[in-house]
Copies of this chain bind each other. A is one copy, B any other.
């Protein structure tokens, strides 16, 4: 019988959110179970549910946290002016961020559940938040911002499908263009 560590509420919340991000990412919202999340977090299933009230609430918080990560990464990239155009800095920051496959995939699931009342609202808010950030804070014109998001959505898809690990030359070619030529960076992403 292992001794389970007693943590302050805030830390426990964060550790559950981190575990849930991975599990929701791999299995989707409905496909993930609170028991799998509990195991990943090293606690009991009942405690996961009790901490967030319901599986849906937990998913919404996972999604909000992922959006928050993007905001933080983008703000840092905007501030760290190294002479490159801001769009390039944002792109690099994005690729660094989605090295965390869980964040990427959780967002993808969030976006594809737009018809669900609570989840859909969270998705719309999150997506618009990112759009406003790259437009207003990074200073991209609306068409540049839209184009930037489009490239990001292709990166999401390519990574979600694990095309960066595929052997076919066409996959390599597509991935290379999707990431703006820096295939190496994609390949480094752990295949978990």
Write the residues of chain A forming the contact surface with B, with a CB cutoff of 8 angstroms: 26-31, 105, 108-109, 111-115, 120, 123-124, 127-128, 131-132, 142-143, 145-147, 149-151, 153-154, 156-157, 160-163, 166, 168, 170-171, 173-174, 177-178
Q: Which residues of B contact A171 (CB under 8 A)?
A: 124, 128
| Chain A binding surface SS class | helix
Task: Decide: B124 and A166 in contact? CB cutoff 8 A.
Answer: yes
Can you tell how many copies of this chain the complex includes? 2
Q: List 19 additional contacts besides A128-B174, A150-B150; criterion CB under 8 Å.
A: A29-B30, A29-B31, A30-B30, A108-B108, A108-B111, A111-B157, A111-B160, A111-B161, A114-B161, A124-B161, A124-B163, A128-B163, A128-B168, A128-B171, A131-B170, A143-B177, A146-B154, A146-B174, A153-B153
Q: Which residues of B contact A111 (CB under 8 A)?
A: 108, 157, 160-161
A28 and B26 contact, Cβ closer than 8 Å, known pairs A114-B161, A163-B127, A178-B146: no
Report Cα–Cα, A98/B166, bound state, in Å: 28
Task: Decide: A150 and B154 in contact? CB cutoff 8 A.
Answer: yes
Q: Which residues of B contact A113 (CB under 8 A)?
A: 28, 160
Q: Which residue of B lies closest to A159 (CB)?
A: B114
Sampled A-B contacts (30; CB under 8 Å): A26-B115, A29-B31, A31-B31, A105-B115, A108-B111, A108-B112, A109-B112, A112-B112, A114-B161, A124-B161, A124-B162, A124-B163, A127-B157, A128-B163, A128-B168, A128-B170, A128-B174, A131-B170, A142-B177, A145-B177, A146-B154, A146-B177, A146-B178, A149-B154, A149-B174, A150-B150, A150-B153, A150-B154, A153-B153, A153-B154
